[in-house]
Amino acid sequence: MSLKRIRLLIWKEFIQLRRDPLLIRLLLLMPVLQLILFGYVVAVDVRNLATAVVDLDQTSTSRKLESAFSGSGYFTITQHVAGENDLRPLLDSGTVKVALVIPEGTQDRLARGETAPIGIIVDGSDSQISAVGSGYASQIVAQFNTDRIAEQGISLAAPGVDARIRVMFDPTLDPINTMIPGLIAAIMMISLMAIMSQAVVKERESGTLEQMFVTPIKATEYLIGKLTPYAALATAQMLLVAAGGLLWFRVPFNGDPWVVLVGLFLFMFTCLGLGLLVSLVSRTRHQAQQAVMFIMIPTMVLSGFIFPIQSMPALIQPLTQVIPLTFALEVLRGAFVKGSGFSALAVPMLVLAGFAVVIFGAAIVATRRRIAE
């Protein structure tokens, strides 16, 4: 491998990039446009939120309250845990999005005509879930109180159950807070995949790819020379989106920058690999465009980037698990909003690493074989 030739290839790539003023403008305009679109225009219905219940009262009232939640359709009770201390890891890892805490003595307090406080904890890292989820929770509790008064024919000054809703991780509830980390990953995916595949296909169309492999340029040198400029470009875009989010939309950053960097790094290899794979199956630049669209549309819809996965039909949900962006979003949103560290995000990190190894590896092997074939 010759560093000199790699440098030469990178130099060539940057010259070609510079000669395409439209591309540069698109690359800088796209994140800004998406930032505005997703930052200001988000509202979605949320159903079947995974919910954990801590029932410390263990009475008929507490069970009735629980079934009011599960019967609403907005919450699906997936876990019963013994104490409040067990909730944190569940929320951290995103296993549950909502927790219902019914303190000991709730039934007794109600019987005495006192106000009985219950706790509802909502995961604020996904703004749609937290906004919509806490709204539904208050409605359900209000309905529960109305029903109870009607049932018992009593009229009391006390409101009955008092829902104390606490939103974890993110008190501001602005959709942009979850959108910015998502955008960083999504933009990275689009630009790397689209532009890289275009660049390789263009070289095949014009015959320069063939020409270069008659020279001493090796497949590895070519790949490094090709990937480096696009990785640099993607980094610039990421910084632009991050800066726009942190400075303009004032998205709070609570996490460890290393978590973000490692997550993005792993995801970047996945995207580069996808770009290469697209370039391998495409004969023309037009085909490459179509192939990118073919990958991007399900990715956008199913990754949880726009629509929360929790509100998707159960049949569709397994599909979201084969989409790399799903896990990139989990890592980035976790790190940005919840401040989750490596241990809490171990599962999505490992899955991302798996995608990176498999997709990037396959792309490199296939490209090298194609070049040698």
Partner 1 sequence: MTDATAHQEPAISVRGLTKTFGDFTAVDGIDLDVPRGQIFGFLGPNGSGKTTTIRMLTGTLRTNGGTARVLGEDVVRHPELVKRRIGYMSQKFSLFEDMTVDENLKFYAGVYDLPAEKFAAQRQYVLEMADLVGREGELTRNLSVGWRQRLALGAATIHEPELLFLDEPTSGVDPVARRQFWDLLYDLASRGVTLFVTTHYMDEAAHCNRLAFIYRGRIIAEGSPAEIRADHMEQRIFDIITRSTDPVLQWLETAPGVDEAYLSGASLHAVVPTDSPLTGASLRQRLADAGFADAEVEAVDPTIEDVFVNLVSRER
Question: Which listed residue (21, 60, 153, 373) binds partner 1 by CB under 8 A?
Answer: 373
Question: Which listed residue (19, 22, 150, 157) binds partner 1 by CB under 8 A?
Answer: 19
What is the Cα–Cα distance from 261 to 245, expressed in whole angstroms? 16
Closest to partner 1 by CB, 211 vs 321, is 211
Closest to partner 1 by CB, 5 vs 109, is 5
**Interaction pattern, residues 352-371, with partner 1; x per rule: CB under 8 A:** -------------------x
- 274-333 residues near partner 1, rule: CB under 8 A: none
- Six-digit token string for 185: 């990953």
Strand partners for 165: 120
What is the Cα–Cα distance from 311 to 38, expressed in whole angstroms? 18
129 in Cβ contact with 123 (< 8 Å): yes
226 forms part of the interface with partner 1 (CB under 8 A): no
Going by the DSSP 8-state scheme, the letter that residue 100 receives in this structure is E
10 forms part of the interface with partner 1 (CB under 8 A): no
**Interaction pattern, residues 174-213, with partner 1; x per rule: CB under 8 A:** --------------------------------xxx-xxxx
12 forms part of the interface with partner 1 (CB under 8 A): yes
Rg, the chain, Cα only: 25
248 forms part of the interface with partner 1 (CB under 8 A): no
Q: Where are the alpha helices (DSSP H) in 41-175?
A: 60-70, 87-92, 106-111, 127-152
How far are the Cα atoms of 118, 128, 145 from residue 73, in angstroms, in the given order?
20, 16, 19
CB of 370 to partner 1, least distance (A): 11
Closest CA to 79 of 58, 57, 109, 101: 101
Question: Which listed residue (49, 217, 231, 288) binds partner 1 by CB under 8 A?
Answer: 217
What is the Cα–Cα distance from 369 to 18, expressed in whole angstroms? 30
Angle of helix 285-302 relative to helix 324-333, nearest 10 degrees, comes to 50
CB of 212 to partner 1, least distance (A): 7
Question: Which listed residue (22, 43, 82, 214) binds partner 1 by CB under 8 A?
Answer: 214
216 forms part of the interface with partner 1 (CB under 8 A): yes
Strand partners for 273: none
Binding residues (CB under 8 A) for partner 1: these are 2, 4-5, 8, 12, 15-16, 19-20, 206-208, 210-217, 371-373
